[in-house]
Amino acid sequence: MTVFLAFPRGKSAVAATARYARADSKAVYFCEKKDLASALFTIPYTYCVEILSTDGDWYYVKYAEDGNLYRALYGYCKTDNLTPLDTPPENIYLNMPVTVTFKADPPAGSLPVLGELNVTVAFYGTYYSGATAYSYVLYDGDFGYIQGAHDDYPLNPLPTEEKPEEDKPSSGANTKLITALALTGVAAAALIILYLTGRKKYFRPDR
């Protein structure tokens, strides 16, 4: 007889088959190499990376797609705080262009200088250097940083854990319970009546 044993799938087993992984923390770094010192930005919370391969506690991943203002990036993410998904969300990557305003320094001479200049850049994620926040962006084919975070992006909905329903007695069971309690009460009352009736035989009023 052949016996098949079923084991629950762990994270590594799911990752072996999953194509995407969701950032369940705001500290999932996208790195150029398998070294956090080469981090470029953090993956936006609730958004995903595409898993291309696994190497120990690192994923080799792809983030973003080629098109519009964005360009696909390839690098590494630690597996910590990344949840492999069988089914990715509708919005796998954050697509949120932001407008940046540049202002030229006052001219030293009498030459005319343009005032404020607004440009649209592709926002990839936030990077913190100490207490200072920077945004990693792509503009006109070049990657770089602008000062300030842009973390007010819409979040992907997270799955909610379904709580098991508590067993509730059926109405029939409640009826039986009430009937049993009522019968118990009637029986107790009958016993008291019989007891008092029996005592009357031996009760002799004082003469």
Own/partner pairs, 77-81, CB within 8 angstroms, 24+ separation: 77/21, 77/28, 77/29, 77/30, 77/31, 77/43, 77/49, 78/28, 78/29, 78/36, 79/11, 79/15, 79/21, 79/54, 80/25, 80/28, 81/23, 81/24, 81/25, 81/27, 81/28
- pLDDT, tens digit (0-9, with 9 covering 90-100), for 110-122: 667 677 889 999 9
- pLDDT, tens digit (0-9, with 9 covering 90-100), for 67-120: 999 999 999 999 999 999 989 999 999 999 999 998 767 666 666 767 788 999
